[in-house]
Structure 1
Amino acid sequence: MLKSLLGYQSSLNGNAGDSHIRRKLYENGVTMSLRSNIALIQKLSEELLAKWLSLPEAQHVPLCQHMLGFAMKSVTQTAMGSSFEDDREVIRFRRHHDAILEDTMIFSLAGCIITANLCTWVVYFLTTSEDVQQNLYKEMDHVLGKGPITHEKIEQLRYCRQVLCETVRTAKLTPIAAQLQELEGRVDQHTIPKETLVLYALGVMLQDSSSWPSPYKFDPERFNDQLAMKNLSLLGFSGSQECPELRFAYMVATVLLSVLVRKLYLHPVKGQVMETKYELVTSPKEEAWITVSKRS
């Protein structure tokens, strides 16, 4: 399962066709599940909003803790539903569907971690930029008004997508990727033997100044340029190369922002120094704290 999570399972065992079919079914299943569960994600977002509104205005909110809980609810309720309430069904499923069970476990683990950290980072970055937060509010208000978010309206939230893409880039959300070299290859004068594990330093490429001007600045406007979006897509963070877990995280984060940003101002905690922990998914090294206040 770890190999699947890292993304370096090889198709050299003769099951490349089966793996491809499984992946397409998996991706289509995630897409259909997202479309049918937007109302559920909105409900969970509104529960979080109500919790934050109940706090005294100056109280510090533990962002990482709350986003992890929100992501766990979103992933488990979307992916599992009530299918596994009967122990006999769990045993039967385990006996006959090992591959699907593994995919489900991978999605639950990776989806939860990626979603929690994407939501954490985007809310944190919004607290550091009043202009970005206000621009996002204006788009949400224009597209959604006072109504609920829908799949069709999500497609219209272009600036929101830019904010999420810039969050992925600035936070270096997934700093590495790994893949087995299925055929012998060459890079300059170096030969890469067949079945070599190749690591991709995505975190380095996401802040390479030759591709990203002012690479350490949080600037969603950079994704007005189609070249910037193409660069992100080539690294697997957008477009056809986007993994199902990240697609899920983008959707959940969009719904969450549509609820929070229309009702709250998000503020930084003065004096907080944010240190980063780089693992399979990048997270704050310590708890990230914010404060919130109600929009008038």
Structure 2
Amino acid sequence: MATCVLLQHFHVSDSCFSRTPYLQSSRTSQLSKLRPGGSSIRCQSTSTDKQKSRNLLDNASNLLTNFLSGGSIGSMPVAEGAVSDLFGRPLFFSLYDWFIEHGSVYKLAFGPKAFVVVSDPIVARHILRENIFGYDKGVLADILEPIMGKGLIPADLDTWKQRRRVIAPGFHALYLEAMTKVFTECSERAILKFEKLLEGEHLHGAETIELDLEAEFSNLALDIIGLGVFNYDFGSVTKESPVIKAVYGTLFEAEHRSTFYIPYWKVPLARWIVPRQRKFQSDLKVINDCLDGLIKNAKETRQETDVEKLQQRDYQNLKDASLLRFLVDMRGADVDDRQLRDDLMTMLIAGHETTAAVLTWAVFLLAQNPSKMKKAQAEIDSVLGQGRISFESLKKLEYIRLIVAESLRLYPQPPLLIRRSLKSDSLPGGYKGKKDGHSIPAGTDIFLSVYNLHRSPYFWDRPHEFEPERFLVPRNSDIEGWSGFDPSRSPGALYPNEIVADFAFLPFGGGPRKCVGDQFALMESTIALTMLLQKFDVELKGGPESVELVTGATIHTKNGLWCRVMKRSDLH
């Protein structure tokens, strides 16, 4: 039960959304100086009666927490009043408030359970890299296992080690270079669709179209994942099919399970009695049947060879350059169909959600910063003109790549990383924390707040501002244990990463369990954004205050990102 409560309804109403590209909220005037948006808008009720009842609830919750788990986690600040603060606000915004109030490592008192919240790169580095095998995915694996099985995200450590060794080589340089063509061709479908819609509107005297770009990006990302990973064309930009409906049904169920209070789907017979669970099982069967067919076809045409030779194939002219082809053809990597299906399902869900969210928030931020949009378009015109993008030209689109990175900093996907200690450990104290750190027992659930890390006022200048240029400037550190920000620390990297920021920037995690498809996702986002801005100007239809934010597996909008799309006025 606690595992679902802690990820409950990350929702923010539009009355809490500020004119700036982040949310406004206030608990105390002291905190407002460091919190996004200041203190002019409140998200919580100040009714005296409600406050009294919430105080009673808080006291009862904290007494229960201290009685059942308070002594099991080492002495650290406690975020009390957690239950009432979660009413009507997203969890990760409350985590930010308590971070500013209590410091980099604190305990979240939550009914019969306590969680350790980490908002510090020094501690994050310890968990993700220095003591990687002392932690697993904990409650996240519990939620995702029915959908992703033993895929890379929910897999236990032994399975993860085995599958990582097989999958990681598949994302090699020649494959990613070949994927540039896939990313471009899929993006061209979306661009052509927009142009046709504009032509239709132009016949009626209109120069703009109104589109939910989040939905369009979601369709585009699904097409890219299908072709790049499975060699399957969903065609979702222009049509709908039973497989597409099943994919979205599964995505919605994954989000439902991460935001619902009680894991009722674990109740015996629930999968047959509860209508939405019956639909979920039906959706899974449609997708699994599709994947099974693709796996069967790939195995029937298998050309087994060593991994080095697989990486040297002529991917530019290969009819099937998919990751599935690589995995099936790899010598010595035989695996049953179920494991392959779990691998593919994981990449389908995780890869699709992340890319759609990155593009959504990149456009949301650019629409509020027209000068930065024009700067991006000027770079595109200089590098590409009206020509097609290539792998080599992508390397020259520096500002576009930094926009993608900055969008991930402000809206990390996901905003929380979840871990559980497999054995007792001693966490570093972090910045301004206890010198001797914090002892935690085995079984401790930990929230690594990527949102807090990315917006920390201690490790970033103007942390809530949209400034893609920040990644070009080194930042020396006077913080003991943190080596600062240095772009030269990761030579040859196209995008900023956890190495250049010494774990203050974790767009795809860090350490051995870092997302294996990070470059795939970053490149497809860059190409799709480039092709959109190459042809069109974009404005928010109702202003930023009309965009409601919700969070399941990723941060996305409640009702879509509705924009006015028009042909660029400066093109001749």
Greater helix proportion: 1
Secondary structure at 1:277's aligned position in 2?
strand
Q: 1:251 to 1:69 in 2, by over 3 A?
A: same
Contact kept, 8 Å, 1:127 with 1:267, in 2: the verdict is yes
Larger RCO (alpha carbons 8 Å, 6+ apart): 1
Matched, 1:263 2:535: yes
Q: Which shows bigger deviation, 104-113 or 46-55?
A: 46-55
Q: 1:285 to 1:95 in 2, by over 3 A?
A: same
d(CA) in 1 for partners of 2:229, 2:506: 23
Structure 2: which amino acid aligns with 1:133? M
Matches within 5 A, 1:1-296: 2=144, 7=153, 9-11=155-157, 15=158, 19-31=160-172, 32-54=174-196, 55=198, 56=201, 57-82=207-232, 86=293, 89=296, 96-187=336-427, 188=429, 190-226=438-474, 227=485, 229=496, 230-231=500-501, 234-237=504-507, 241=511, 243-272=515-544, 273-295=546-568, 296=571
d(CA) in 2 for partners of 1:35, 1:194: 43
Displacement of 1:77 in angstroms is: 1.4
Displacement of 1:219 in angstroms is: 1.4
Secondary structure at 2:507's aligned position in 1?
coil
Secondary structure at 1:148's aligned position in 2?
coil
Displacement of 1:238 in angstroms is: 6.3
Contact kept, 8 Å, 1:265 with 1:294, in 2: the verdict is yes
Deviations 1:117-175 (CA, angstroms, capped at 9, x unpaired): 11111122221111111111122222223332222222222211210111011123310
Q: 1:185 to 1:8 in 2, by over 3 A?
A: farther
Displacement of 1:115 in angstroms is: 0.9
Contact kept, 8 Å, 1:179 with 1:198, in 2: the verdict is yes
Secondary structure at 2:466's aligned position in 1?
coil
Q: Which shows bigger deviation, 103-112 or 278-287?
A: 278-287
Displacement of 1:280 in angstroms is: 2.1
Secondary structure at 1:59's aligned position in 2?
strand
Structure 2: which amino acid aligns with 1:278? T
Q: Which shows bigger deviation, 166-175 or 50-59?
A: 50-59
Q: 1:6 to 1:167 in 2, by over 3 A?
A: farther
Contact kept, 8 Å, 1:115 with 1:246, in 2: the verdict is no
Contact kept, 8 Å, 1:33 with 1:78, in 2: the verdict is no
d(CA) in 1 for partners of 2:389, 2:295: 38
Q: With structure 2 as the length reference, what TM-score do the two structures score?
A: 0.46
Contact kept, 8 Å, 1:6 with 1:177, in 2: the verdict is no
Structure 2: which amino acid aligns with 1:180? R
Q: 1:291 to 1:5 in 2, by over 3 A?
A: farther
Displacement of 1:210 in angstroms is: 1.6
Contact kept, 8 Å, 2:218 with 2:352, in 1: the verdict is yes
Radius of gyration: which is bigger?
A: 2
Contact kept, 8 Å, 1:61 with 1:291, in 2: the verdict is yes
Displacement of 1:234 in angstroms is: 4.8
Structure 1: which amino acid aligns with 2:208? A
Secondary structure at 1:265's aligned position in 2?
strand
Q: 1:47 to 1:87 in 2, by over 3 A?
A: closer
Secondary structure at 2:538's aligned position in 1?
strand
Stretches of structure 1 that go unaligned for 5 or more consecutive residues are none
d(CA) in 1 for partners of 2:295, 2:370: 52
Stretches of structure 2 that go unaligned for 5 or more consecutive residues are 1-140, 202-206, 233-289, 300-327, 329-333, 430-436, 475-484, 487-495
Structure 1: which amino acid aligns with 2:450? L
Contact kept, 8 Å, 1:8 with 1:197, in 2: the verdict is no
Secondary structure at 2:564's aligned position in 1?
strand
Structure 1: which amino acid aligns with 2:533? V
Displacement of 1:214 in angstroms is: 2.2
